[in-house]
Structure 1
């Protein structure tokens, strides 16, 4: 099973346990990006996470946005990026940009 399938299986298990779950998927990247398009992160309302959309540098921001998506059910398209000059300062050593689609699982 691939790591993306593991994330989906984990999200399904959490939902079966009664957890509210959101799924984040990298839909597009530009320049250098730590994770390719198709990478996934599952987040629960109680704060559990599985997978990765960035190798750790934006997971917190995605998890925060996931709480809103889980609360109101509205999907979000999130844009993240940083100039190469500031990349090391903010922890995005890769520079580049990525777009993440966030949705609540039914």
Structure 2
């Protein structure tokens, strides 16, 4: 029997929440062009900055974790946009650009 990684992410987020920690969940909601993670990919963050999962394969993870910590603190959800145009990608040796949108929300309740 295999366990889907999204099950682990959500189970860990629930464990953190039940332990009294502040928790935020980041979810990839839109991609275009070259995107490191597909729509539906998730990252859970606790109020200590510990995280599980991935929304980007590393290139924007730090910014998402920072925004998740802010969402835990202020309770406001946010939609994050990250992207690289084809021209910018070509300049640094990549074949094509891409865009990713990540929705970040505090888990309440």
Give the TM-score taking structure 2 as reference length.
0.87
Distance in structure 1 (CA, Å) of the matches to 2:95 and 2:65: 20
Q: 1:77-88 alignment to 2 at 5 Å?
A: 77-87=79-89
Q: CA deviation at 1:83?
A: 2.0
Residue 32 of structure 1 aligns with which residue? 34
Q: CA deviation at 1:56?
A: 0.9
Cα RMSD (Å)? 2.0
Q: Which runs of 5+ in 1 are unaligned?
A: none
Confirm or deny: 8 A CA contact 1:33 1:94 kept in the other structure. no
Residue 96 of structure 1 aligns with which residue? 98
2:65 is paired with a residue of what secondary structure? Answer: helix
Give the TM-score taking structure 1 as reference length.
0.89
1:10-48: per-residue Cα shift (whole Å, max 9, x none)? 111111111100000000100010100000000111010
Distance in structure 2 (CA, Å) of the matches to 1:22 and 1:80: 19
Q: CA deviation at 1:94?
A: 6.8
Q: Which runs of 5+ in 2 are unaligned?
A: none
Residue 52 of structure 1 aligns with which residue? 54
Larger Rg: 2
2:28 is paired with a residue of what secondary structure? Answer: strand
